[in-house]
């Protein structure tokens, strides 16, 4: 076997430490006179940083850590593995990170009674956790401790959850043997300074990528909540994207007196929650919420439920006698919900979760009189001097928001209909106009005039399948193919610029005034070329000529 070249040994050192290697790095090192790994110590720090200018900021920082560790002469055998692990967790994606962390955790088990946590200097750990979201930080500590399923061994669903890494196991000398947390896991979960003193009061899975959250299961959620001692610290929890959990993982929150709000709608902020998956079970979630309400000093103020729960309970009368309907009644009767007052008129806002009534389909199961963002309370009909309501319901994300937190846009079609009915006796404009958050995304939006339309007025919006643009009837002039079985339609802009190709574009013949796509115009002319419209023949002639030219070239 031939001995590798000197520069090849440097390449192996780079890849072994999780650092990138390319032709630019090789040529630069050659200019510096680097032939062996030992020559790297003669490179200045700024020259080393210049090698990775084209890489991501995270990878540049990790490369600096490798450089400093090499100069310090630290021969810790686990350092290379942890740097590679950190690089993968930030650069290659969060999904690979969790898998690699779990593998590293399993590989760190030395015997049946001890878990050895991979050690790193405190400054290195701080640099790594500063680059990942808070939820990933808790999952990192969980993965470095044990797999998520092992948290069931401590019966987190039968007793008050313990802080991270303190679980019991049967041993030969004692019935229960406690394992203590390591220094690295304490460091990951502890606040860095006074500004992070309330580090674990707010957990939002929306800070992570979608492909990570959909892989989370109830064991992962429960282990993380027990990890941060959520029953005593967590005040706000948003289970964004967590579509594959049943709710059993919320057990560590049982009996919490500090939890203020819980969003289990699984929808991202300002996105329609009606189209996502939901596997949450009422039989798993509602008993946990009941245990919180049973505490006299509970702090629960706001709940956001999944769209599937609310629609099934509203339309299915048998479901209304189940867990969800009974909990709504119990929640409405709590002392806090009975005593809230409007910040404008100081009136007592009695109803919060809408009672099952036929005229409140879109509001049913949604906490009213409360702004989703700031939790301020307002009466439904309170307005300011400019006749703007303080609290408005968004029909897209299905949340109430006050005018100070979010600008709301009315549906243009609803407003026009309301204007024609405002002189009728007993008419209430508020109940007939749909509003949407200014940040809510949707397909019912005119790109020309900027007006939005609700679901009930979606027929006012037109969509061009060539340029994928949407617009209202006034701004977008659409042409449809007159053929019965054809669904081709083209907007004026695409028709003028031939976007989408001649075969899909619908055009109007100036002579016979027929609106046809190329395919059906050609078929109509083929029936009788002599009697065909001359203008239609001129319209299809360029395409026929190009087709003939291609066939001739193939032959």
Q: Is the pLDDT of residue 151 over 70?
A: no
Contact in structure between 398 and 263 (CB atoms under 8 Å): no
Q: Is the pLDDT of residue 134 over 80?
A: yes
Q: Which residue has the higher pLDDT, 552 or 41?
A: 41
What percentage of the chain carries pLDDT values higher than 90? Answer: 4
Q: Identify the weakest region by mean pLDDT among 32-46, 67-81, 190-204, 228-242.
A: 67-81
Q: Is the pLDDT of residue 532 over 60?
A: yes
Give the pLDDT of residue 292.
92
Contacts of 467 (CB under 8 A, 6+ apart): 491, 493, 494, 499, 500
Mean pLDDT is highest, among 59-68, 321-330, 491-500, for 321-330
pLDDT band, very low/low/confident/very high, at 99 (cuts 50, 70, 90): very low
Please state the domain extents for the chain.
408-458, 500-554
Rounded distance, CA 247 to CA 217, Å? 9
Q: Identify the weakest region by mean pLDDT among 403-407, 427-431, 543-547.
A: 427-431
pLDDT band, very low/low/confident/very high, at 289 (cuts 50, 70, 90): very high
Mean pLDDT, residues 248-262 taken together:
90
Give the pLDDT of residue 431.
54
Contact in structure between 471 and 496 (CB atoms under 8 Å): no
Q: Identify the weakest region by mean pLDDT among 149-163, 445-459, 466-480, 494-508.
A: 149-163
Kindly report the average pLDDT of the chain as a whole number: 70
Q: Which residue has the higher pLDDT, 147 or 210?
A: 210
Q: Token digits for 79?
A: 């350092």
Q: Is the pLDDT of residue 129 over 70?
A: yes
Q: Identify the weakest region by mean pLDDT among 14-28, 253-267, 329-343, 451-465.
A: 451-465
pLDDT band, very low/low/confident/very high, at 449 (cuts 50, 70, 90): low
Q: Is the pLDDT of residue 259 over 90?
A: yes
DSSP 8-state secondary structure symbol assigned to residue 374: T
Mean pLDDT is highest, among 236-250, 356-370, 406-420, 536-550, for 236-250
Over residues 417-431, the pLDDT tens digits come to: 544 444 344 334 455
Give the pLDDT of residue 180.
44
Contact in structure between 192 and 134 (CB atoms under 8 Å): no
Mean pLDDT, residues 232-258 taken together:
89
Cβ atoms within 10 Å, residue 530 = 4
In order, the DSSP letters of 472-532 are ETTT--EEE--STT---EEEHHHHHHTTT-TTT-EEE-TTT--EEEHHHHHHHHHH-TTTS
pLDDT band, very low/low/confident/very high, at 444 (cuts 50, 70, 90): low
What count of residues does the chain have? 555
- φ/ψ region of 448 (left if φ > 0, alpha if ψ in -120 to 50, else beta) reads alpha
Give the pLDDT of residue 235.
92
φ and ψ at 470, to 5 degrees?
-115, 150
Contact in structure between 465 and 472 (CB atoms under 8 Å): no
Mean pLDDT, residues 480-507 taken together:
67
């Amino acid at each position: 076997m031939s001995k590798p070249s000197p520069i090849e040994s440097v390449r192996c050192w780079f890849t072994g430490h999780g650092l990138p290697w390319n032709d630019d790095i090789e040529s630069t090192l050659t200019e510096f006179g680097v032939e062996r790994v030992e020559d790297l110590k003669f490179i200045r720090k700024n020259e080393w940083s210049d090698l990775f200018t084209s890489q991501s900021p995270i990878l540049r920082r990790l490369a600096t850590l490798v450089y400093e560790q090499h100069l310090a002469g630290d021969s810790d055998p686990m350092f290379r593995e942890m740097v590679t692990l950190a690089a993968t967790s930030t650069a290659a994606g969060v999904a690979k990170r969790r898998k690699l962390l779990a593998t590293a955790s399993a590989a760190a088990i030395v015997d049946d009674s001890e878990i050895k946590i991979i050690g790193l200097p405190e400054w290195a750990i701080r640099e790594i956790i500063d680059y990942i979201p808070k939820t990933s930080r808790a999952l990192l500590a969980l993965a470095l401790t044990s797999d998520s399923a092992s948290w069931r061994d401590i019966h987190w669903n039968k007793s008050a959850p313990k802080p991270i890494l303190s679980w019991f196991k049967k041993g030969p000398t004692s019935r229960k043997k406690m394992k203590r947390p390591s220094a690295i896991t304490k460091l990951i979960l502890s606040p860095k300074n006074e500004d992070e003193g309330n580090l674990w009061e707010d957990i939002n899975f929306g800070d992570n990528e979608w492909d990570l959250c959909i892989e989370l299961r109830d064991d992962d959620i429960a282990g993380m909540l027990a990890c941060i001692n959520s029953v005593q610290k967590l005040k706000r929890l948003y289970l964004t994207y967590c579509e594959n959990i049943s709710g059993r993982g919320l057990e560590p929150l049982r009996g919490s007196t500090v939890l203020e709000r819980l969003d289990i709608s699984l929808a991202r902020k300002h996105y329609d929650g009606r189209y996502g998956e939901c596997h949450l079970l009422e039989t798993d979630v509602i008993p946990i919420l009941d245990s919180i309400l049973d505490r006299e000093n509970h702090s629960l103020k706001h709940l956001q439920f999944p769209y599937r729960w609310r629609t099934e309970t509203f339309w299915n009368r048998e479901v209304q006698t189940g867990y969800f309907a009974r909990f709504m009644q119990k929640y409405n009767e709590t002392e806090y919900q009975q005593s809230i007052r409007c910040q404008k008129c100081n009136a007592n806002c009695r109803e919060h979760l809408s009672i099952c009534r036929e005229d409140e389909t879109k509001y049913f199961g949604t906490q009213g009189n409360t702004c989703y963002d700031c939790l301020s309370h307002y009466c439904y009909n309170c307005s300011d001097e400019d006749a703007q309501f303080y609290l408005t319901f968004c029909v897209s994300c299905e949340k109430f928001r006050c005018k100070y937190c979010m600008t709301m846009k009315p549906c243009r079609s609803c407003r026009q209909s309301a204007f024609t009915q405002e002189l009728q006796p007993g008419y209430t404009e508020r109940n007939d106009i749909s509003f949407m958050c200014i940040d809510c995304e949707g397909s019912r939006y005119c790109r020309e005039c900027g007006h939005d339309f609700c679901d009930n007025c979606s027929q006012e919006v037109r969509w061009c399948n060539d340029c994928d643009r949407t617009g209202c009837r006034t701004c977008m002039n659409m042409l449809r193919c007159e053929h019965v079985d054809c669904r081709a339609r083209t907007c004026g802009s695409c028709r003028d610029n031939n976007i989408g190709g001649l075969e899909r574009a619908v055009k109007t013949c100036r002579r016979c005034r027929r609106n046809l796509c190329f395919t059906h115009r050609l078929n109509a002319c083929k029936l009788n070329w002599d009697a065909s419209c001359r203008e239609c023949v001129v319209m299809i002639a360029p395409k026929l000529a190009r087709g003939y030219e291609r066939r001739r070239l193939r032959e």
